[in-house]
Amino acid sequence: MRAAIWAEGVKLAGSTVGRVGSVAIVIGVSVLSGSMLLAAHSDDPQLLAKLGPVATGDWTGFLLGAAQITGAGGLGGFAVVLAWIVGREFGDGTITGLFALPVRRSTIALAKLLVYGVWAVAMSVLLGIALFLVGTLAGLGPLTEAHWAALARQIALGVMSAAIATPIAWAATLSRSVLGGVSVALGLVVLAQVSVLAGLGGWMPLAAPALWAVSGGTAVTPIQLLLLLPFTGMAVVATALTWRRMQLDR
C-alpha cells in the first residue's frame, strides 16, 4: 500500500491539474468571497439585494458567502481533480502498466482515494486559513466564538464536499475517462440543487453539507449529516471493486 500511496502522491504533486485545482479551490474561493465582501460595501441597492444575507459586510456574511461558493464551486474543483486522478490512467494509456504488478489494482484505487482525501483535507484547511486572512486584512475585526464556529464549519464543508465527490472516481473508472467523471460531477451538482428545491436537502448527502454550513448547522440534523459516511463508503468500495475486477476489453 505504501508504494501505491507514494506513487499517487508523486503523480498528484507533479501534475498541473493538481496545482491548478489547489489554486482554484484555495485562492479562487477566497478571492470570490472577498469580492462578495467588497460588493457588500457597495451603495447599489440592487447589488445588495442580490447578495441577500451575504450583504452584511461582516464575518457572518463573509463566511456565509464562502460557504455558498464552496458548496458548488468547491465541489466542482474537488470533482475535477478526482476525475483526473482516476481517469488519466485510461486517457494516458498507463492503465496497462498497472496490471501484472505485485500491488493489487484495488490497492492502487484505494491509494488514489486516500491521496485525494489527504489533499482535500489540506486544501480545506488552507482555504479556512486563507479566508481568515482575507477577512482580517479586510478589517472585519476579531472573530467571535460564533465566527470561529462558522470558520470551523467552512473547513468541515470543504472536507465533506470532497467526500461527496467520491462517486466521481467510480464514474471515471466505469467511463474510462476524465470527461466521464467530470460529466457525472456536473450531474451531481444539478442533483444536489434539485433535491434542495424538492425539500429533500437534508436527506440528500450531496446537498446536506452545504445546507448544514449555510444554515449555521441548524437545517441539517447530525443523523442526516452522518449519511455521508455510507454514501462515501459505498463509492469507495464500488471504485475499489471495479478496479479489482477490471478487464481491458474496450
Partner 1 sequence: MTGPLSATGVTRVFANGAGVFDVNLPLIPGQVVTLVGLNGAGKSTLMRLLLGMLRPDSGSVRLAGRLLPQAPAEAWAKVGHLVEYPLAYPELSTRRNLQLSARLRQVTHIDAAVEGIITEFALDQYADRRVRSLSLGNKQRVGLAAALQHDPSVIVLDEPTNSLDPAGVIRLRESLLRRADDGAAVLVSSHHLDEVARIADRIVVMNAGRLIGDLDAATPEIERAFFEMVRIDDERVGR
Site residues (vs partner 1, CB under 8 A): 3-4, 6-7, 10-11, 14-16, 92-94, 96-104, 247-249
Q: Residue 94 Cβ, how far from partner 1 at the closest point, in Å?
A: 6
Q: Which is nearer to partner 1, 46 or 247 (CB)?
A: 247
Which lies closer to partner 1 via its Cβ, residue 42 or residue 94? 94
**At closest approach, how far in Å is the CB of 247 from partner 1?**
5
Q: Which is nearer to partner 1, 2 or 45 (CB)?
A: 2
Q: Least distance to partner 1 from the beta carbon of 121, Å?
A: 23
CB of 37 to partner 1, least distance (A): 36
How close are the terminal C-alpha atoms of the chain, in Å? 28
Minimum separation from the CB atom of position 109 to partner 1 (A): 14
Nearer to partner 1, 94 or 144 (CB): 94
Q: For residues 158 and 213, give the distance between their C-alpha atoms in angstroms, rounded to a whole number.
A: 10
Of 107, 81, 83, nearest in space to 171 by CA:
83
Smaller CB distance to partner 1: residue 15 or 221? 15
| 1-172-71-142 Cα dihedral, nearest 10 degrees | 30
Helix (H, G, I), strand (E, B) or coil at 64: helix
- List all residues 6 or more positions away from 74 whose beta carbon is below 8 Å from its beta carbon: 25, 29, 127, 157, 158, 161
Burial class (CB in 10 A: 0-12, 13-18, 19+), 230: exposed
